[in-house]
Homo-oligomer: A and B are copies of this chain.
Amino acid sequence: MRHDTGDHTLNETGEAGIIQRIQHQGVSGPASHVKKGIGDDCAVLETEGASALLVTTDTLIEGIHFTDQTLSPEALGWKALAVNVSDIAAMGGTPKTAFLSLGLKGETKVQFLDAFLAGFKALSEKTGVVLAGGDTVESPSCAVVTVTLLGECSKERVVYRSGTEVGDHIWVTGRLGDAAGGLFLLKEKGGPTPPEYASLILAHQKPMPPFELGKALGEAGLAHAMIDLSDGVAKDLGHICEQSGVGALLQGSSVPMSDPLKKLADQVPHPALGWALQGGEDYELLFTASPAEEPRILSLSAKVSDGGATRIGKIIDDSGLWVDTPEGRNLLESHGFLHFSK
């Protein structure tokens, strides 16, 4: 962190600079009951029992994270919870208790609230999450939704972003890039979306984090490191590599992508692999594991309802993220979504 007078803007500092500033000002610790504070998908708090308490919070703001063009009120309710479920899953935990802070304009119709709550409820029922409190306030100009989600995980089984080793395989769940393709359609294309692309729209609007697989991976002790794919593989895998001082080599041909995404990519045209590795908002999981565990991972992944893991590369004793494509080996640049981009 620069020691300066602060006479520059948050845009110039960037999100990482802001977080550094919070950490370095000593606002955030230390404390005996905080096993992990800022710097992972969730905070990990000690409890008297056998489980650690996991806590995560995420804010969605109209005009930044969504518009009425990209998310219906119902999808907003679903997604506000989903992005937090994803963080709990990335620690290998079980999501349990949600708190909802909702800022809406006074002229908002009650229909909007009802649809929002229906979307929130639909995912909370699927994930076993209970809403236990929150705050409702008037917002002067844009809708603001903050969800704080508490979860639990056996103390010995919490999976962090750190802990990966050279030679580990890199795995991802689901198919990547659908959410980015969906967002492209919602923002760039006018008029109704062809039905063949409905799954892309759905991936952006109502992501379904693989919380059962995340939990199962944690319980089985199979993942060395794990993170949720909110900002894209390039940025999120970057976090994992930074924390262990390693690099990664991906096989472009192994990255799981859906047929509708490939079709859209051909049509636009836009590199499908760009959406898959740099697009963000997939809310799938990326984890690393010992190569010896491949059979157990595939077996586990076949057993849970939201399973489906694909090996896409390996951790290397080098810096940087590299991807092999038919055109050669390329440095994977972090074009993931940046808040307060420089």
Contacts and interface: CB of A to CB of B under 8 A. Distances in A.
Identify the interface centre among A37, A111, A114, A133: most chain B CB within 10 Å of its CB: A133
B49 A48 contact: yes
A144 interface: yes
A146 B13 CA distance: 22
Contact of A131 (B4, B37, B42, B56): B37
Given A135-B58, A137-B61, A96 B33 contact: yes
Contacts of A65: 137
B132 A29 contact: yes
Contacts of A131: 22, 27-29, 37-38
Question: What copy number does this chain have within its complex?
Answer: 2
A120 B55 contact: no
Contacts of A144: 59, 61, 103, 139, 144
Given A7-B110, A9-B107, A110-B10, A31 B130 contact: yes
A140 B65 CA distance: 10
Contacts of A164: none
Given A10-B106, A63-B140, A132 B48 contact: no
A238 to B, nearest CB: 18
Nearest to A32: B130
A84 to B, nearest CB: 10
Nearest to A122: B27
A83 to B, nearest CB: 10
A252 to B, nearest CB: 31
A254 interface: no
Contacts of A18: 113, 136
Contact of A142 (B12, B42, B45, B141): B141
Interface string A47-60: 11111010111110
A118 to B, nearest CB: 7
A57 to B, nearest CB: 5
A106 B9 contact: yes
Contact of A117 (B8, B25, B56, B136): B25
A57 B133 contact: yes
A43 interface: yes
A64 B34 CA distance: 33
B8 A110 contact: yes
Interface string A118-132: 101100100000111
A5 interface: yes
Contacts of A310: none
A6 interface: yes
B137 A64 contact: yes
